Amino acid sequence: MKTLTISKTNIATMTSQEVDKLAIRLEQDDYSNAFEGLEDWHLLRAIAFQRPELVESYIHLLDLEAYDEA
């Protein structure tokens, strides 16, 4: 399975369809090695920080939790 490699500038132009495909790959977890899945996970995480509206439906894939540092 081929993973996406995208620069920060390209994240600004990503479409919701591209994010959907990325999330589907992550949900299926059908990678030939762990590094491909990790690359997709890091890409989805970068999108979440730069364009959170695109990953609202897939935030569960990132395991992001609010931490109380108190």
Q: Is residue 70 part of a domain?
A: no
Q: Does a structural domain hold residue 68?
A: no
Is 36 among the domain residues?
yes
In a domain, 3, yes or no: no
Tell me if 1 is assigned to some domain. Answer: no
When divided into structural domains, the chain yields a total of 1
Taking only the tens place, the pLDDT of each residue in 1-54 is: 555 556 666 898 999 999 999 999 999 998 999 899 999 999 999 999 999 999
Q: What is the predicted pLDDT for the residue at 10?
A: 85
- Global pTM reads 0.76
Task: Domain of residue 15: give its range.
Answer: 8-61
Asked whether residue 13 is assigned to any structural domain, the reply reads yes
User: Could you write out the DSSP letters of every residue in the chain?
Assistant: -PPP---HHHHTT--HHHHHHHHHHHHHT--SSHHHHHHHHHHHHHHHHH-GGGTGGGGGGTT-------
